[in-house]
């Protein structure tokens, strides 16, 4: 299969940088003819650059291009991007679902997108009502008494939640030093606990992929602040003993932190607050359809049960007796403010729109379909890839490279790279860490059966090729602009700026990158 698959033909990967295109005398801005146009252009540059504008006689050494050239250059480059709007993106623990365009439209409405955060509350009533409604909707979905929308990411939500736990312990006059974290946890969990000075105590999994209750029994004590738990866990498996676990922690005065980044299996089906979770972050940029990946704005809203509500950050949006909304800063036990202004408001508009358009029945249906899609994939692929756990999954499923490794020395990385040649984004790989050579697939509810089948077909073809022609996998991807990259080298020696003297490939480039990073 060295022909590009149908979806990737027509890609022009020979796109030089603008600096490399010599094209003098072109002018790319639509301005009147003649002298005047140069004056306008100079004025624009001066205005754009402010005091940094160059003197009158100096010219910037920029390459020259016509407007259509520029437009085509960037449009061609944009086609190198892989996105949820071009193809399916079964990245596990990420919930890469399609984001309905109406949410984007709502987020961009000028009345929302151009609101100034310093406007007085009377002028912000519409925005405040959306925040109020979203706080309440998320509390209802998660089974919590209050929710803050301030944190900008799941990781910051964890930061807020663990800070609240610490504040609650302090209010009781306690200084507990340990935090239980299952082996399968997302890396941000132990990182957050460690950030607050907790000793991270790792919990074993049982052969069915759940937390080992005996291990909790042995490790939970009055020096332990609580547990950080993900349910369904990062193996896509429901922690069936969650209620017992919460009791075990609460009985010894601890708190239960829930990692609710991926709520795609639970919306409308079950409520973490009802399991005994005291505080949990939602990732609006995963479950509640804001496009993500690549570090765009996020929202790691945090819901709290009664036990921790007093410690939530300020301000919360509240409502007066006359119906007017306001920022409630009068919360004496609050951990304080955790972000400038009020959070990423555009995301709140999107999430609010999504929840409103779905309604309770729609959210439940989304969860059902997400779980159905993952189990369908599990059933179709289980004879081709080794299943990490035999337990039925919820919204995601974890396979491994065991069979391909043993028989053909083909690794998870090789499989992932070959899937790129099929026009697919690879699944999450080598995570969770408890599974050796993990391939973690999360299809989400927004993929149709036709698409889910196409995804499975690609996986099955790659598994067959691992037997018939393993070398093809080891040299994949073959149909992309760049072939197999040395990712570790790139991460350690980033070259983020183009210069004319820069070598573009091979050993010369490696030397250049190392010199640039002072490693030679």
Nearest CB to ligand PLP, comparing residues 189 and 411: 189
Residue 390 and residue 388: Cα distance in Å, rounded? 7
- The number of beta carbons lying within 10 Å of the beta carbon of residue 69 is 15
Longest dimension (CA), the chain: 83
The CA-atom distances, in angstroms, between 18 and each of 80, 229, 412 are 16, 49, 37
Residue 328 and residue 321: Cα distance in Å, rounded? 14
Least distance (Å) between residue 477 CB and ligand PLP: 25
Nearest CB to ligand PLP, comparing residues 153 and 419: 153
Instruction: Provide the 8-state DSSP code for 356.
Output: H
- For 282, the 3-state DSSP assignment is strand
Residue in the block written with tokens 């146009």? 37
Closest CA to 342 of 106, 99, 130, 109: 130
The CA-atom distances, in angstroms, between 357 and each of 2, 128, 145 are 44, 19, 23
Nearest CB to ligand PLP, comparing residues 154 and 268: 154
> How wide is the angle at C-alpha 253 spanned by C-alphas 250 and 256, nearest 5°?
50
In this structure, the chain runs to a length of: 520
Nearest CB to ligand PLP, comparing residues 236 and 477: 236
Least distance (Å) between residue 158 CB and ligand PLP: 7
Contacts 24+ apart (CB under 8 A), 498-505: 498/17, 498/19, 500/19
Least distance (Å) between residue 300 CB and ligand PLP: 6
> How wide is the angle at C-alpha 304 spanned by C-alphas 303 and 306, nearest 5°?
150
Nearest CB to ligand PLP, comparing residues 159 and 389: 159
Closest CA to 131 of 390, 315, 380, 400: 315
State the sign of the Cα–Cα–Cα–Cα dihedral 99, 103, 105, 111: negative
Least distance (Å) between residue 262 CB and ligand PLP: 5
HSE, side-chain direction, 13 A CA sphere, residue 389? 25
Nearest CB to ligand PLP, comparing residues 272 and 477: 272
DSSP states along 457-473: HHHHHHHHHHHH-HHHH
Nearest CB to ligand PLP, comparing residues 230 and 411: 230
What residues make contact with ligand PLP under the rule CB under 6 A? 93, 153-155, 186, 188, 230, 234, 259, 261-262, 283, 298, 300
Residue 448 and residue 92: Cα distance in Å, rounded? 17
Least distance (Å) between residue 302 CB and ligand PLP: 12
Least distance (Å) between residue 187 CB and ligand PLP: 8
Least distance (Å) between residue 292 CB and ligand PLP: 7
Nearest CB to ligand PLP, comparing residues 255 and 257: 257
Nearest CB to ligand PLP, comparing residues 182 and 300: 300
Nearest CB to ligand PLP, comparing residues 188 and 309: 188
Rounded to 10 degrees, what is the CA torsion of 130, 134, 136, 141?
160
Question: Which tokens go with 411?
Answer: 């690794």
Nearest CB to ligand PLP, comparing residues 153 and 160: 153
Residue 222 and residue 176: Cα distance in Å, rounded? 7
Are 249 and 182 in contact by the 8 Å Cβ rule? The answer is: no
Question: Which tokens go with 430?
Answer: 């080598």
Q: State the distance between the two ends of the chain, measured CA to CA, in whole angstroms.
A: 41
Least distance (Å) between residue 348 CB and ligand PLP: 15
Least distance (Å) between residue 171 CB and ligand PLP: 27
Nearest CB to ligand PLP, comparing residues 234 and 480: 234
Closest CA to 226 of 258, 197, 255, 260: 255
Least distance (Å) between residue 95 CB and ligand PLP: 8
Nearest CB to ligand PLP, comparing residues 187 and 503: 187
Are 243 and 251 in contact by the 8 Å Cβ rule? The answer is: no
Cis ω on the peptide bond leading into residue 232 (within 30° of 0)?
A: yes
Least distance (Å) between residue 275 CB and ligand PLP: 16
Least distance (Å) between residue 446 CB and ligand PLP: 17
Alpha helices, H only, 90-221: 101-108, 110-113, 125-142, 154-171, 188-195, 213-219
Least distance (Å) between residue 354 CB and ligand PLP: 17
Residue at shortest CB range from ligand PLP: 154
């Amino acid at each position: 299969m060295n022909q590009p698959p149908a979806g990737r033909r027509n890609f022009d990967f020979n796109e030089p940088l603008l600096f490399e295109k010599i094209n003098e005398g072109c002018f790319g801005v639509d301005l009147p003819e003649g002298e005047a146009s140069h004056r306008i252009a100079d004025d624009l540059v001066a205005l754009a650059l402010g005091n940094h504008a160059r003197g009158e006689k100096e010219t910037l050494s920029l390459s020259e291009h016509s407007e259509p050239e520029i437009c085509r250059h960037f449009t061609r480059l944009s086609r190198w991007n892989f996105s949820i709007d071009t193809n399916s993106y079964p990245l596990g623990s990420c919930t890469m679902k399609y984001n309905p365009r109406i949410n984007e439209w709502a987020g961009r409405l000028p009345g929302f997108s151009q609101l100034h955060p310093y406007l007085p509350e009377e002028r912000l009533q519409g925005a405040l009502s959306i925040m109020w409604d979203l706080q309440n909707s998320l509390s209802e979905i998660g089974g919590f008494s209050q929710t803050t929308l301030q944190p900008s990411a799941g990781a910051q939500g964890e930061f807020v939640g663990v800070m609240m736990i610490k504040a609650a312990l302090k209010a009781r006059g306690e200084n507990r030093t340990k935090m239980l974290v299952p082996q399968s946890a997302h890396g941000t969990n132990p990182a957050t606990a460690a950030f607050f000075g907790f000793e991270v105590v790792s919990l074993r999994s049982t052969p069915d992929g759940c937390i080992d209750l005996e291990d909790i029994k042995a490790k939970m004590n009055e020096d332990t602040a609580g547990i950080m738990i993900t349910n369904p866990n990062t193996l896509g498996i429901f922690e069936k003993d969650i209620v017992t676990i919460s009791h075990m922690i609460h009985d010894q005065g601890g708190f239960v932190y829930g990692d609710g980044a991926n709520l795609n299996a639970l919306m409308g089906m079950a409520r973490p607050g009802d399991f005994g979770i005291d505080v949990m972050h939602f990732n609006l940029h995963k479950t509640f359809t804001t496009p993500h990946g690549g570090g765009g704005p996020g929202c790691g809203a945090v819901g709290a049960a009664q036990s921790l509500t007093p410690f939530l950050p300020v301000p919360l949006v509240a409502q007066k007796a006359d119906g007017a909304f306001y920022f409630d800063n009068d919360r004496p036990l609050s951990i304080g403010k955790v972000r400038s202004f009020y959070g990423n408001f555009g995301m709140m508009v999107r999430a609010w729109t999504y929840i409103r358009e779905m309604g309770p029945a729609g959210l439940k249906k989304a969860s059902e379909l997400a779980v159905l899609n993952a189990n369908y994939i599990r059933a179709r692929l289980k004879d081709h890839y080794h299943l990490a756990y035999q337990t039925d999954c919820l919204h995601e499923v974890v396979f491994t490279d065991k069979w391909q490794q043993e028989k053909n020395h083909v690794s998870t990385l090789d499989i992932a790279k070959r899937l790129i040649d099929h026009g697919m984004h690879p699944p999450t790989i080598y995570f969770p860490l408890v599974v050796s050579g993990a391939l973690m697939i999360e299809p989400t509810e927004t993929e149709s059966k036709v698409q889910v089948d196409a995804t499975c077909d690609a996986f099955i073809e790659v598994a067959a090729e691992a037997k018939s022609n393993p070398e093809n996998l080891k040299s994949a991807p073959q149909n992309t602009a760049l072939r197999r990259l040395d990712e570790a080298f790139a991460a350690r020696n980033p070259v983020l700026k183009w210069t004319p003297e820069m070598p573009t490939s091979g050993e010369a480039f490696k030397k250049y990158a190392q010199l640039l990073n002072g490693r030679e």
